[in-house]
Structure 1
């Protein structure tokens, strides 16, 4: 056994003896609260050497510090909705404005050029402006469109931001 282990063992035995044979009686004296000075007396007094003593200010109510719950909107992690507000309850006989329409996907930006069957899978050639895009089943186009299915005579695309399905006519499997 190392000397450090022996010293720790002796310290452990001494602590255990103090716990078992020490005085466990409760103290007889009671500590009372000290009287608090009024707010007018709360100004810091100067010590004998002229330096001001530190004073502790009185506690203020939470309502004084932050206001009551009805004073405004105080959400720490509130949510934001970008949808237009729905019309409120109108008096009887008033004309109700129409509800806002659901957003729709933009017009299809692709034009069909051609297709090719290779090894049992289809490749479809699309153009967008001056760009030519070659797509296969389950491929992504610019993180906005996903090819869901290529089954002649249609190519099915999903517009991902709105989860809307769009189709392009690609002709028969000839």
Structure 2
């Protein structure tokens, strides 16, 4: 019970110290403002202008401020910044290695397109009425075709021989041979 009373007295004491400190600080700030107001002298000859305490009507000496000086890097504030290292300009006519490598790059052309490898499997053949037709399989698809017929709109049968079938890859016009066992 004694500690509860002790706490109350401590809280009341802290409250009293806080109020006293606030009053002292308030008085000091008012005194500082009064000192500043007295230092400013009002402009004489003001005709009918109402000024509040501390405001005067003086012009600033702008001509005495001087011009601002900017650094050379501050010229273009919207310049593009690139993190790619800058390349140095080298005259290739004086360096034969660079000249030769550039000529090789010009000579290089993209590789010519080639037909994909044949994915057909030969299943057999049938000869009827003088026409030979072959049976081919590709993945899950089975095809029956004769000379001149198309398969998948990509291949056409060119010739059928005893030991080989010639297929033409239509997009490039490349002839490919499928060997028969």
TM-score (norm 1): 0.43
Bigger CA radius of gyration: 2
1 or 2, which has the higher helix percentage? 2
